[in-house]
Amino acid sequence: MHRSIRKHLALVPFALVLLALPARGGEADALSPSVSNAKAQLLSQFFAQGAGASPAVLEYRRKLAEYQAARAAFDAEAGAYWGQISEKRKGRNAKRRSGQQVTLDDYVLEHPPLYSGPKRPVNPEPEEEPERPARKPIPVAADFLRAAQELYQFTPQRPASEVEFKRAYARYALASGLTREQAVRVYSFETGGTGSYDVQAGIEHGGRRAISTAMGYNQLLTTNSVELLAEQGHEFIRALSDKVARTSGPARQSLEHKLAVLKKMVAHAKSVPDTWSEHEKIGNTAQGWAMHAMVLDVDVGPMLQTHKLLTSVLFARAKGYSRPLTAAELEMMNLTGDGTGLDMVTMPQGMREQVPTSNFFQRGGYERNPVAIRHNTVAKLLAVTDARMDSNSGNAGAKELAGAF
């Protein structure tokens, strides 16, 4: 933006406020000389800078001032609301830590304000575009495979067919404690009921560009893969070791190499503190990409897909929630994180129908989530999740997965 325009815009909202001040009972005459002089000087600058501007520019400046005033008022209201959301969340967490019962009073029961004022107008004059750093390309399967080969001299064993991977997933999921309904319906929600074992977010249903590293039936991010290797790696090593012991010949040699690579990956994942942020740092490197390549492996991939869901089931049990999770409840924990998801899952139906979904979001995430805005209570959000699962469960991939169980 040109310097003169930027200087002028900085004065607009204050100038309009001064213009709008009511002259009540001689209050204007009571202003001190210094304030009166400052007001006069500001208004003089405001009108002087408007001199010579085109009608289009003047109209833009007027609309911009209206927009800025409306946004400022909205941001003040929204800031207070989301501050209350944060405080209520802290209070619920404190009550749970001390074993107290969470009640309806521990939630904000009003829905958040949504901006309905004027849109930001388009400047008719050319503006200087701020320099934006180049966006890093999102890695895809070829990058994950390349990293695994370069760092570990390892290439994941791909299945001979899609149904082979589905059968391996079904066997491991059932043996680990997931139900057919949970696995199939979450798959239906995450992939639309058509996704392959190597499907990546964005590169599906005709998409050409990855929008994240989320991959597979349950859409694991690179960070998920690192975290699961760190936290469940001992189980993966045990299961693969058992398979090695049952195998002979060249196939055994291949499995032994895979097991050695898996052990190295697990050791590296465990070398940092067990936090999402630390695992995310690894996930954003070639090391994390190499670990993520294991999602494509017919032996390790089903374990990763299973434990992406199973960790939520085990988390709920550890917190004393013994009732089996419905697929929609499991998906809420999968999407929002175990702690936040369990907050919704443990809520009685009567509370679900009253508590707004905003209680489980940060402001930015909520305002960018049209589904949570439209289906704005816990009950409605779970219902639309179930409805999507119902619809997608009839698709070919979902039927094939159900048959694998």
pLDDT band at 165 (very low <50, low <70, confident <90, very high): very high
Q: What is the dihedral of CA 177, 182, 188, 194, to 10 degrees?
A: 30
Q: Class of 141-404 per CATH?
A: mainly alpha
pTM here is 0.80
- Helix (H) or strand (E) segment spanning residue 11: helix 3-20
Compute, in degrees rounded to 10, the torsion defined by CA atoms 171, 174, 176, 178.
140
pLDDT digits (tens, 9 = 90+) for 235-258: 999 999 999 999 999 999 999 999
Who contacts 235 (Cβ-Cβ below 8 Å, separation ≥6)? Answer: 303, 307
Residue linked to tokens 């995450």: 190
Can you say whether the dihedral through the CA atoms of 38, 43, 44, 48 is positive or negative?
A: positive
Residue 215, strand partner residues: 200, 220
pLDDT tens column, 187-208? 999 999 999 999 999 987 777 8
In the chain, list all ranges with CATH 1.10.530.10. Answer: 141-404
